[in-house]
Structure 1
Amino acid sequence: QQRPDLHAPILTIDLIKPELVTPGYIFLAPYRNLDPAPYIYDNYGNLVWSGAGSGGPKTAHAPRVCTYKGTDHLCFFQGEQQKGFARGHGVIMDQTYRVVKTVESTGAGASSDMHEFKLTPFSNGTTALMTVYQPRRYDLTANPRFNIRNGLGWIVEGVFQEVDIETGALIFEWRSLDHVDPSAAWTLPGTTDTSGDGLTQQTPWDYFHLNSIDKNADGDYLLSARHVSAVYKVSGEDGHIIWQLGGNCPSFEQTNFAFSYQHHARWISENATHTLLSLFDNASNNYNWTGPESSGIILSINHIDLTATKIQSYAPPSPNLISSSQGSFQILPDNGGALIVWGEHAHFTEHTSTGEIVLSGKLADRLSDVMIYRSHKFPWVGRPLTSPALYAFSRDGEEEKARTTFWASWNGATEVVRWELWTADERGGPWGNYGSADREGRFETEFFIERFERWGFVVARDGGGRELGRSAVVKTFVPSAGLRQYCDERDCAAARGLEEGEEVVPYEAEDSTREGERTTDRGYDTAHYYDVAGFEVEEVEGRRRRRREEKWVVALGVVIGIGVVWGALAVWRVGGWRRVLARKGGAVDWSVWWRWNRYARLKQEDWWEGKGVL
């Protein structure tokens, strides 16, 4: 009611086992919807924060809580969405939802991509990892599998960088073409909707498709590359591949599983003999399959016998659900559970450590084409710098038995426990405390009063009663007599157009776009708005002309006044010279007058003293 500018998606939540759901907030960023942006919801599907327009006007991806300068911040990618990748930068917001830093890729290449923007955990949040999709000229005629002949081809090189957040300095860079030959690709030119055909600069072949990066305490990196269906451990010293999981020529035998076109590979733990990691197994790119359904999986790599084993699997919410693009798998730190996003389906689930689904959330149907690349769950405290919003409505106004409804909200505020309502008959008070209402986790809290209140404001308080903020004073909206028939005690029906066959009520309307009201550079000449106030445009233009004439008269008067003053001063000074010479008994030398203009800036007495007169 009080924030009609917000168009947050409606989140449908099914709390299957609420007692097992992990506390915290759900961070997601849908796109291809109205107002694509980072959003925060609670476990019941209530909106907590809409970030539409807060970090910029473009699409956002993968919002999450990050540690920057020792405190919790929000991190997400924001940029221009392309087919299968994006161009943009990383955004860091503080707890007031203000952008404190943007992070760009460095060097002479493309800007950073949507697939990864992550502050490194072992640098205390001083560096960031980001992907770059860099098109390059490439000889694709050498391999007959690529089906390209008679000319130079184009390829997308998968690049990642680690950069210093404060200085922008490059810490580390890795390029796929230096280490992985295009012959390793599982996705050939022109074979999928995002592969590219490799024939032009605008359609380069994306042979690698780097979609996640992680870094461990030793300084090495974990990469996931979708179009080669492989996960790599890369040396943080020289970039060489230490081992490869999946894809062509893997380093390990996969004992009980297969995966393909995966996303979001993350380290869980490591030691000298074993590596534990998680990933989202898409199992398909909608053209090829390695399994009947997508899933989240936890894998154990044995570096002694060179085997990899699946030790836990998290099934989709419906059997045989395939997510052929996108998706994420986050291990929740408190209880070992997991939050899984089912990519293109705009659907997410929370699981226990054994794989049981305890929460299911849905943002949109698949046919809507609304998607979520990644989602996360974290605890979060939001303290916005904005003020609470308030709207008040009364259908009957000052009539007997009139009622008033107030709606209060505060976009992004997580500490508000209750709202306190103050009302008055006049804008300046005196104010009376009507009472309070618990927020109960809802984005919008409603007060329903059994009388008419003309003015009001609300105070937001936390659990200890501390005031967090207060709204502006608002006047209650009372509909006109003609509108009132379409209203109930809470609101009025939305306006509508005429239905077929409905009679049109004739009325005469003045054309507000008369000749001369439009200008070539600024749309309407705002002079015509004076018609609404009871003034004719011609009268307004006449007033403007008179004001211009008055300004010229004033300016001319100022110039004449200055001339008179200077003339009087000159006469006075000449008269002063005559009196001085008369006292000395001398005659007046009029040649002195001609020298006066030269020495006018000197004190008169000093000049005559220099001549020996005084």
Structure 2
Amino acid sequence: MKLSSISLSFASLLAVATADWQYRSRPDLSPPQLNITIPPKDTAPGYLFLAPYSGFADIGTTHGPRQSAPYIFTDKGELVWSGYTYFSIWAANFQAGKVNGKDVLFSFEGSHNPNYGHGHGHITFLDQKYQTVHELRAGNHKLLDKHEFHIINERTGLVEIYDPVPIDLTPYGGTPDQQWIVDAKVQELDIETGEVLFQWSSLEHILPHDSVLPVYEGQPGFGYNSSDAWDYFHINSVDKDENGNYLISARNAASIYKIDGKTGEVIWKLGGLPGVTSSDFSTKDKNLTFSFQHHARYLSTSEDGSRQVISLYDNSAHGTENKDGREKNYKKQSSGKIVEVDTKNWEAKLLFNGPAPDNLLSKSQGSTQVLENGNVLVGWGSEGAVSEFNPKGEAIFHAYVDSGEFGHLAQNYRAFKFDWHGYPTEDIALYSEVTEDGHTIAYVSWNGDTETKSWKFFSVDENGTKHFLEEKKKAGFETLIKFDNKKHSKIIVEAFDHNGKALAASTPVFTQKQILPYKKESSNDQRIEKLEKEVGLLESALNYFDWRTHRSSYGF
């Protein structure tokens, strides 16, 4: 089913309308908003790093987020920085980090293949001025995949590669014409030079028998060609410990592997599904199961090296959105987990479990980040939400990424929280308007600025002389100030930090006649508008589910 041209027009207009009037000083920005359902309480310091995108197929502007991009927010929902146009095409895994002692932002940018859960591109780095300073690509004539970039010791980066190769799949249940499999690879790269320091291949060390998604089911690809290769392993995260050994999350094997950093051999395997996956560890905890997981990270290692603590995101789900019989759901909700593995007694112990608020079950994506104060930040992947838990496992913050009428379908690969200091080279944005009763209202913002504590406003006379008007404490992304009933024809604003140091000044702007959002007065018109909105939503939802029915969503 396709949207009718009338419904498509209504939906498009509605989507545009919901994005208008967010910021008068930056009408070009239409970022998603955080729909906070659990207000922050005792949360860790830092900003939220998100890169939401649309869960709809590409059907014009009838879905959100309208401006898919990396974003920085406060946990109170205030925008700090919009990365729209800073990263092109499709961006994910947006984070802050350090490279050779310098603070940077980085993100994957490139193609996105939602059918098979992979994409090809590169890693882009920005400095604290939000200027592009570096790009990194995979080596050895391989294409870097979207799933992972993880900085090690400020010098090297871990990446994952989706590499289809032809082999005989009949030993694994395939037919003679099923000949393609994904050889999932890991590379450790020198960030500055791009030199490949280490490369690991899944097919060289782990047989396809480890997969919990058989080739004949077709869930991770049928293997008939390189575009439909059987993704038996599906690496979605890589980490490295202080001893040089790697930690690999294999989603389609529902297992986590520790890999020798010299030989590439498997040191141990933590299987997530007793009775389905093999595992080198036993457990007495019935709650210590996981499947189709993401984002496994080393947290700590005991002095003798026999015990290691790791974190992971437990999806417990994998499959199509239309419940066509090929889904794999092992629990009713996803969760963030912290696990200790003991290689003396070969036991695994669950140390932390953060279950999803609202019983969210994400069939793809997700992340678990342990913060410096012990709190745990969990991104719910395909469900487009983020939560923070205290060490007791209590949710102390929860929000959905929302973007207008269709924002409930926004997704976000990973969510993070970092301290960050931004010093934008963008000009301060200032807009001034006069109301019908003669009041001057000014709006000011500075995209990416984290240092301004107050704004000083000045009028500018015909000779260019400044006259101080008022100082206003910075209030969120855009600060509004209303002056007395005298019209100020030209306004300028200056930014000051917490020490009273001047940071920058805007260019003077002329005051404009105020334009207010149009409101229909007729109650009948309002009823018609509401009906049109409901019809547009219904038809768009039907179109979405019809689209899902005719394609598989393999997730990532």
| TM-score range relative to shorter protein | 0.7 to 0.9
Q: Distance in 2 between matches of 1:347 and 1:317?
A: 10
Correspondence 1:239-278 to 2 at 5 A? 239-246=264-271, 248-256=277-285, 257-271=288-302, 272-278=305-311
Change (3 A) 1:433 1:192: farther
Aligned to 1:518: none
Change (3 A) 1:77 1:17: closer
Q: Distance in 2 between matches of 1:434 and 1:190?
A: 73
Change (3 A) 1:192 1:394: farther
Q: Which amino acid aligns with 1:211?
A: N
Q: Distance in 1 between matches of 2:72 and 2:187?
A: 28
Correspondence 1:139-178 to 2 at 5 A? 139-144=168-173, 148-151=174-177, 153-178=179-204
Q: Which amino acid aligns with 2:35?
A: T
Aligned to 1:114: 146
3-state DSSP of counterpart to 1:227: helix
3-state DSSP of counterpart to 1:177: helix
Aligned to 1:456: 491
Correspondence 1:306-385 to 2 at 5 A? 306-318=346-358, 320-333=359-372, 335-364=373-402, 368-385=408-425
Q: Which amino acid aligns with 2:472?
A: A
3-state DSSP of counterpart to 1:264: strand
Change (3 A) 1:292 1:325: same
Please tell me whether the aligned partners of residues 63 and 75 of structure 1 are also in contact (alpha carbons under 8 angstroms).
yes
Deviation at 1:11, TM superposition (A): 1.1
Please tell me whether the aligned partners of residues 139 and 196 of structure 2 are also in contact (alpha carbons under 8 angstroms).
yes
Please tell me whether the aligned partners of residues 258 and 290 of structure 1 are also in contact (alpha carbons under 8 angstroms).
no
3-state DSSP of counterpart to 1:363: strand
Please tell me whether the aligned partners of residues 258 and 291 of structure 1 are also in contact (alpha carbons under 8 angstroms).
no
Question: Which residue of 97, 101, 109 maps to 2:134?
Answer: 101
Q: Distance in 1 between matches of 2:410 and 2:207?
A: 34
Correspondence 1:350-429 to 2 at 5 A? 350-364=388-402, 368-396=408-436, 401-426=437-462, 428-429=463-464
1:202-243 CA distances to partner (integer Å, 9 max, x unpaired)? 211111110000111111100001000010000110111111
Q: Distance in 1 between matches of 2:498 and 2:216?
A: 59
Q: Distance in 2 between matches of 1:2 and 1:48?
A: 14
Aligned to 1:546: none
1:295 to 2:317 alignment:
no
Please tell me whether the aligned partners of residues 131 and 211 of structure 1 are also in contact (alpha carbons under 8 angstroms).
yes
Please tell me whether the aligned partners of residues 457 and 474 of structure 1 are also in contact (alpha carbons under 8 angstroms).
yes
Change (3 A) 1:133 1:494: farther
Aligned to 2:554: none
Please tell me whether the aligned partners of residues 456 and 473 of structure 1 are also in contact (alpha carbons under 8 angstroms).
yes
Question: Which residue of 212, 222, 227 maps to 2:237?
Answer: 212
Please tell me whether the aligned partners of residues 245 and 258 of structure 2 are also in contact (alpha carbons under 8 angstroms).
yes
Q: Distance in 2 between matches of 1:329 and 1:106?
A: 28
Please tell me whether the aligned partners of residues 276 and 299 of structure 1 are also in contact (alpha carbons under 8 angstroms).
yes
3-state DSSP of counterpart to 2:318: coil
Please tell me whether the aligned partners of residues 248 and 257 of structure 2 are also in contact (alpha carbons under 8 angstroms).
yes
1:52 to 2:84 alignment:
yes
Q: Distance in 1 between matches of 2:477 and 2:243?
A: 44
1:76 to 2:107 alignment:
yes
3-state DSSP of counterpart to 1:142: helix
3-state DSSP of counterpart to 2:252: helix
Q: Distance in 2 between matches of 1:454 and 1:495?
A: 31
Structure 1: segments with no counterpart, 5+ residues = 480-486, 501-614
Please tell me whether the aligned partners of residues 169 and 176 of structure 2 are also in contact (alpha carbons under 8 angstroms).
no
Please tell me whether the aligned partners of residues 43 and 375 of structure 2 are also in contact (alpha carbons under 8 angstroms).
no
Deviation at 1:495, TM superposition (A): 11
Q: Which amino acid aligns with 2:506?
A: S
Question: Which residue of 476, 498, 501 maps to 1:466?
Answer: 501
Q: Which has the larger radius of gyration?
A: 1
Aligned to 1:223: 248
After TM superposition, the structure 1 stretch with the greater mean CA deviation from structure 2, 227-236 or 198-207, is 198-207
TM-score (norm 2): 0.81
Q: Which amino acid aligns with 1:81?
A: H
1:23 to 2:45 alignment:
yes
Root-mean-square deviation (Å):
2.0
TM-score (norm 1): 0.74
Correspondence 1:124-135 to 2 at 5 A? 125-135=154-164
Deviation at 1:292, TM superposition (A): 2.8
Please tell me whether the aligned partners of residues 141 and 151 of structure 1 are also in contact (alpha carbons under 8 angstroms).
no
Q: Distance in 2 between matches of 1:22 and 1:494?
A: 41
Please tell me whether the aligned partners of residues 23 and 379 of structure 1 are also in contact (alpha carbons under 8 angstroms).
yes
Q: Distance in 2 between matches of 1:407 and 1:354?
A: 42
Correspondence 1:26-41 to 2 at 5 A? 26-32=48-54, 33-41=65-73
Correspondence 1:569-584 to 2 at 5 A? none
3-state DSSP of counterpart to 2:345: coil
Please tell me whether the aligned partners of residues 273 and 303 of structure 1 are also in contact (alpha carbons under 8 angstroms).
yes
Aligned to 1:11: 34
Q: Which amino acid aligns with 1:34?
A: R
Q: Distance in 1 between matches of 2:333 and 2:37?
A: 22
% same residue: 34
Change (3 A) 1:66 1:288: same
Q: Distance in 2 between matches of 1:421 and 1:478?
A: 19
Q: Which amino acid aligns with 1:408?
A: V
Q: Distance in 1 between matches of 2:244 and 2:450?
A: 36
Structure 2: segments with no counterpart, 5+ residues = 1-23, 55-64, 320-326, 526-556
Q: Distance in 1 between matches of 2:218 and 2:504?
A: 53
Aligned to 1:281: 314
Q: Which amino acid aligns with 2:439?
A: R
1:285-305 CA distances to partner (integer Å, 9 max, x unpaired)? 141233332111111111111
Q: Which amino acid aligns with 1:281?
A: D
Q: Which amino acid aligns with 2:53?
A: Y
Q: Distance in 2 between matches of 1:364 and 1:165?
A: 35
3-state DSSP of counterpart to 2:150: strand
